[in-house]
Amino acid sequence: MPKTLRYAIKHSFPIFISFVPVALAYGVLMESAGYNFVWTGACSFFVLAGSLQYLMVSFFAGGVSLATVAVMALMVNSRHIFYGLSFIEKFRSFGLWKYFLIFSLTDENYSLHCSHNFPDDINEKWAYVVTASMAWMYWVVLSIAGALIGTLIPFDTTGIDFALTALFIVILIEQMKGADNRLPALLAFVSSIVCLIFFGPSNFILPSLLITVALLTILRARIEPEKPEKEGN
């Protein structure tokens, strides 16, 4: 377990770095809207969805109905459906912990889970659980810190939220280096560009995901490596 814990801390540390500006800024935003660190911590603990939480601040201030909140939450986080589908077989073997892993499957955790390369002495199940737990803790603690001291930070944070995008780019590059087949990444890239042109920057994610999943399903036989036949067959 100590080796697994060290692995999880090391593997999740890039998320901590990327969360520093984003979570602190969220805490500041909540505080400026009249919600103290208790509300900030509760939202981060139970919701755990950065983009939706930013949107929720305006919902709170505007008195938006629960029905509207539910519809917007589904639209904003629809991509998570595809995250869950890609890990459904993996998490099924983890017992009750699968429910926590489903809950904690944020953009960042999904990226980390996709980039796991476990050494032989690492417990795979606990590596997933501890990595997800560390990322959850980072988000909650940093959000609370932002609500408490974020307004005192004296530097200009304009553009610093690009840290999350930079994290995804680095993880993508690392995955591309170790991938045997780069066709899935190419399909996703082309699909994203085409949908960006046709649907615009605010609406391209969901159609891009749908098209990519459809193409990967159609080309599955070509993408997946052939399994060697067992001797004696």
pLDDT tens, position by position, 159-172? 655 665 676 677 67
Q: Are residues 28 and 68 in the same domain?
A: yes
Q: Are residues 169 and 196 in the same domain?
A: no
Q: Are residues 34 and 77 in the same domain?
A: yes
**Residue 118 resides in a domain:** yes
**Residue 82 resides in a domain:** yes
| pLDDT band for position 226 (cuts 50, 70, 90) | low
Residue pair 148/88 in contact (Cβ under 8 Å)? The answer is: no
Q: Are residues 76 and 117 in the same domain?
A: yes
Averaged over 136-152, what is the pLDDT?
88
**Residue 160 resides in a domain:** yes
**What's the number of domains the chain is made of?**
2
Q: Are residues 45 and 94 in the same domain?
A: yes
Residue pair 139/48 in contact (Cβ under 8 Å)? The answer is: yes
Q: Are residues 25 and 121 in the same domain?
A: yes
Which three-class secondary structure string do you get for the chain?
CHHHHHHHHHHHHHHHHHHHHHHHHHHHHHHHCCCCHHHHHHHHHHCCCHHHHHHHHHHHHHCCCHHHHHHHHHHHCCCHHHHHHHCHHHHHCCCCHHHHHHHCCCHHHHHHHHHCCCCCCCCHHHHHHHHHHHHHHHHHHHHHHHHHHHHHCCCCCCCCCHHHHHHHHHHHHHHHHHCCCCHHHHHHHHHHHHHHHHHCCCCCHHHHHHHHHHHHHHCHHHHCCCCCCCCCC
* Range with the largest mean pLDDT of 89-103, 144-158, 210-224: 89-103
Rounded to the nearest integer, the mean pLDDT of the chain is 80
Q: Which domain holds residue 167?
A: 2-178
Looking at per-residue pLDDT, the higher value among 8 and 66 belongs to 8
pLDDT in tens, 62-102: 777 777 777 777 777 777 887 888 888 888 888 899 999 98
**Residue 78 resides in a domain:** yes
Structure tokens at 124: 């795979």
Q: Are residues 8 and 36 in the same domain?
A: yes
Q: Are residues 144 and 214 in the same domain?
A: no
